[in-house]
Every structure is written in structure tokens, then in C-alpha cells.
């Protein structure tokens, strides 16, 4: 088999395996890449699928310097420390749904070009101390195994520029020292059974610095049983995104986020939170706060004071009965989403000192009354959604001094909209007014709406 032609260099590599009595490899996929002159960046990829007994050195030139992935089809129960000893170099290995039960420490040592390790959908139950050491990867995927134990030192001095994935395993605890000096962008531990995390378990994590994205760690812990935001557990100034969706958290305490000074995005959806007290979010650098699908009926007056970077606040599908305009006064919030609550009244000055062009979603509540001064101080809005409430009266003066950039939605209420058309014509709006029997379009070019 010849892999060299004029101005084209063929680069490929295969896995040379020595099957044991317990290991059986039916076929091996060898991924090959053609790199073309003059820039050597243009590539063509194809695969050879050969029986393990037909693998020859001719498939794997020993002078190759830029190698691609090894894809293995078949059943392999154990990867030993010397399983890859005959391989000079390769960039990635993929062993998916191969019945792999054991991964011995040292399997991936001494491979400086290794970038990707994909071992998802196997039968691994434990990651031992020293299994992943001194590696520089783009991705390490251990999703959908049966892993219940991560020994301290399982990941040591590892840098992963994108994701370390342990999604949908059987972990119940994260011990201190599991992640020793690990640099990563995304650590995914979602859909396990984690109920216990030792203090300092995430202290060994560091952000990956790159020109491609803002440095910071994204920690995903959704669909576990963590129950509380413990500042001794969540103690890492490099965490920027924290996902705790559906994690059985029912109580927020003052000081819970004190050791996450650079947190920007926090997802606390689908928990059992009933109240937002003061002292949890005050002064934080959070830009996106999602508290949707909880049972929140009480928010303290100063719960969000000092959140000078808050841009998006989401609290739909909760049990709020009133709207306090003081919650966001003076904050740069651009979007407020409070749909599907039990809010009955919009009081006077509910939107004083909020940014121009704000988006407010209050649809599917129980709003009956809107105070005359509800929108006093609001100069412009992009989108106001009051659809599917119980509003029976809409005064044209409500938005007389408000510049509507996009739309106001009043559908699904009890307003006699046919009587409102002459008055709506007087609005200084460039947007659209939606009513059950009327759509009032702007009288200006669409390009001016923004």
C-alpha cells in the first residue's frame, strides 16, 4: 500500500494490540489524513477498517510526526500500562461501547502528542490514583460509564483545554485531591448521584488560559443531590459558571457565594428554593442569575443590592405574588423574565432607574391592576410582555412617555381593544402593539426599531 504521491504526504497510524484471553478486538479503524502542499493545512480524511490479524507496519510509517485518532471496534475489557508501548505517537484514542471494565494507571503516559481520550459508554467503575497524569489534552470523555469511585490523584497535573466529562455515571461523592492541579475549561459532573462533596474538592482546579475565550472554569453539577451551596465546597476564585440545576437545594444562606468572587453565571433552576434572603447575591459579579422553576414566594427588599454586573434575571415558574420595583433599581439588568408566577399587581414606580431598552416578561401571571405610575421613570423599553393575565383596563397614559423599541404584548387579557385603536395611534412607539383583535404596527422604518 503506497501512501505517498507528488506533493502529498500520507499520515496514518494504527493501534497494534496484543489481545489476551480476556480481550478480543474484531476490527481496528485507522483514521488517515492527507496533508497537501504548499501550506500543509489542507487535509482529506478517510478510514481503513481491517481485521486485527491483518494490521501491518506498512499501515503505520514509523517516521510519521503528525498522527490522528485511533478508533477501536470490538470488545476490550482492560487497558494495561503497556497496551500502547509499540505506538510511537498518536493524537487521540476512541474506545466507545467496547465493554471496557478497567483502566490501569500509566496507560496514557509518555505520549506528548496525545490530545483526545474518548472512553464513553463503557463499563468502567473506578478511576485509580495516577490514571491520568501529566497530560495536555483538548478533551477527556468518560461519560456514561458506571464510575462510582474517583480516587484522590486520579487526575494529576492535567490540562484540558475544553472538557473533562464524567456525565451520567454513578458517583455519590467527590473527595478532596481527586483533581490535583487540573486546568480545565468545562468540568462536567452532571447526572450522577452526588450527595457529598468534601471541602476543598475543587480547590485544585485552574482555568485554562486561551485567546479563544474568556478564562474561567465552568462547573456543571446539575441533576445531583447536593442540597446546599456550601462555601467550603465552592471555594475557587476561578469558577465563572456554576450549574446546579435540579440539585435538591432548598435553602439559600447569607454568605453561600463568598468564596466564588468571580462567578458570572449561576443556574439554580428546578430546585426547591422558597425564599431569596439578603446576603446571598449582594455585591457579587454575577451577570446571569437563573432561579426559574423553584417555589420562590419571598424575595427580600435588598436581595440584589450591589449586583452591578447583573444583565439577565430569570425567575419564571415560581410563586411570586407581588412585584417590587426596588429589587433592580440602579442595576444594569437588560432582561427580566418573571413569567408564570402569581403576580396580581404592578405597583407605582416598578421600573424606576432601570436601563433603557429593557426587556420585561410578565406574561402568564394573574395581573389585574396596573397602578397609574407603574411605568414612571421608564424612558424606553424593547419588549414588554403582559400577555395572558387578567388585565381589564389599559390606559393609554401608561406608556405615553415610553419609547417602545420592539413590542408590547397584551394578548389574552380582558381588554376591549377595539376601543383603543385611536388612542394607540398617539403612542410615540416604533414597535408593535399586540392585542387580541388588533396589531398596531409602527409608523417608522423597521431599521429604526433598534
pLDDT of residue 89: 64
User: Residue 140 and residue 138: Cα distance in Å, rounded?
Assistant: 7
| Model pTM score | 0.84
**What is the Cα–Cα distance from 257 to 354, expressed in whole angstroms?**
25
| Nearest one of 334, 284, 288 to 304, comparing CA atoms | 284
Grid coordinates of 272: 426547591
Q: Which of 29-33, 111-115, 211-215, 301-305 has the lowest mean pLDDT?
A: 29-33
**SS3 assignment, position 181:** coil
Between CA 159 and CA 142 the distance in angstroms is: 16
3-class secondary-structure state, position 424: helix
Tell me how far the alpha carbon of residue 342 is from its chain's centroid: 29
> Which pLDDT tens digit goes with each residue over 131-142?
999 999 999 999
Is the pLDDT reported for residue 13 higher than 80? Answer: no
C-alpha cell at 62: 514509523
- Dump pLDDT digits (tens) for 392-432: 988 878 887 888 888 889 999 998 877 777 766 666 556 77
- Taking residues 18-27, report their average pLDDT: 42
pLDDT exceeds 80 at position 354: yes
The tens digit of pLDDT for each residue in 177-204 reads 999 999 999 999 999 999 999 999 999 9
- Residue 51: CB atoms within 10 A of its CB come to 10
Cell representation of residue 214? 474568556
Is residue 58 very low, low, confident or very high in pLDDT (cuts 50, 70, 90)?
very low
Residue 4's pLDDT band, with cuts at 50, 70 and 90, is very low
Amino acid at each position: 500500500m503506497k501512501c505517498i504521491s507528488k506533493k502529498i504526504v500520507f499520515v496514518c497510524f494504527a493501534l497494534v494490540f496484543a489481545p489476551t484471553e480476556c480481550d478480543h478486538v474484531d476490527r481496528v479503524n485507522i483514521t488517515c489524513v492527507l496533508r497537501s502542499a504548499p501550506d500543509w493545512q489542507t487535509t482529506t480524511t478517510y478510514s481503513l477498517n481491517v481485521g486485527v490479524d491483518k494490521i501491518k507496519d506498512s499501515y503505520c510509517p514509523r517516521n510519521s510526526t503528525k498522527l490522528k485518532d485511533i478508533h477501536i471496534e470490538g470488545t476490550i475489557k482492560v487497558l494495561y500500562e503497556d497496551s500502547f508501548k509499540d505506538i510511537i505517537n498518536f493524537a487521540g484514542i476512541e474506545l466507545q461501547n467496547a465493554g471496557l471494565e478497567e483502566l490501569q494507571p500509566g496507560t496514557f503516559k509518555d505520549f506528548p502528542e496525545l490530545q483526545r481520550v474518548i472512553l464513553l459508554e463503557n463499563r468502567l467503575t473506578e478511576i485509580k490514583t495516577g490514571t491520568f497524569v501529566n497530560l495536555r489534552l483538548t478533551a477527556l470523555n468518560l461519560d456514561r460509564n458506571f464510575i462510582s469511585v474517583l480516587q484522590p490523584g486520579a487526575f494529576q497535573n492535567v490540562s484540558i483545554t475544553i472538557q473533562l466529562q464524567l456525565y451520567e455515571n454513578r458517583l455519590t461523592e467527590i473527595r478532596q485531591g481527586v483533581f490535583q492541579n487540573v486546568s480545565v475549561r468545562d468540568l462536567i459532573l452532571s447526572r450522577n448521584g452526588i450527595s457529598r462533596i468534601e471541602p476543598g474538592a475543587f480547590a485544585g482546579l485552574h482555568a485554562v488560559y486561551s485567546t479563544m475565550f474568556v478564562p474561567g472554569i465552568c462547573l456543571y453539577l446539575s441533576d445531583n443531590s447536593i442540597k446546599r451551596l456550601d462555601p467550603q465546597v465552592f471555594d475557587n476564585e476561578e469558577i465563572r459558571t456554576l450549574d446546579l440545576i435540579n440539585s435538591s437545594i432548598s435553602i439559600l444562606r447569607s454568605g453561600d457565594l463568598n468564596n466564588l468572587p468571580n462567578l458570572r453565571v449561576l443556574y439554580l433552576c428546578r430546585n426547591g428554593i422558597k425564599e431569596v434572603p439578603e446576603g446571598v447575591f449582594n455585591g457579587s459579579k454575577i451577570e446571569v442569575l437563573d432561579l426559574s422553576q423553584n417555589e420562590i414566594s419571598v424575595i427580600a427588599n435588598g436581595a440584589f443590592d450591589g449586583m452591578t454586573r447583573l444583565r439577565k434575571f430569570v425567575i419564571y415558574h415560581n410563586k411570586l405574588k407581588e412585584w417590587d420595583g426596588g429589587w433592580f433599581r440602579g442595576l444594569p439588568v437588560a432582561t427580566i423574565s418573571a413569567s408564570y408566577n402569581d403576580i396580581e399587581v404592578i405597583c407605582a414606580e416598578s421600573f424606576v432607574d432601570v436601563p433603557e431598552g429593557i426587556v420585561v416578561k410578565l406574561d402568564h401571571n394573574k395581573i389585574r391592576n396596573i397602578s397609574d405610575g407603574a411605568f414612571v421613570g421608564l424612558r424606553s423599553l424593547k419588549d414588554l410582555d403582559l400577555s395572558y393575565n387578567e388585565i381589564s383596563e389599559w390606559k393609554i397614559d401608561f406608556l405615553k412617555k415610553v419609547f417602545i423599541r420592539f413590542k408590547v404584548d397584551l394578548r389574552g387579557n380582558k381588554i376591549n381593544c377595539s376601543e383603543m385603536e385611536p388612542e394607540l395611534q398617539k403612542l410615540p412607539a416604533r414597535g408593535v402593539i399586540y392585542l387580541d383583535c388588533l396589531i398596531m404596527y409602527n409608523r417608522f422604518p423597521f431599521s429604526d426599531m433598534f
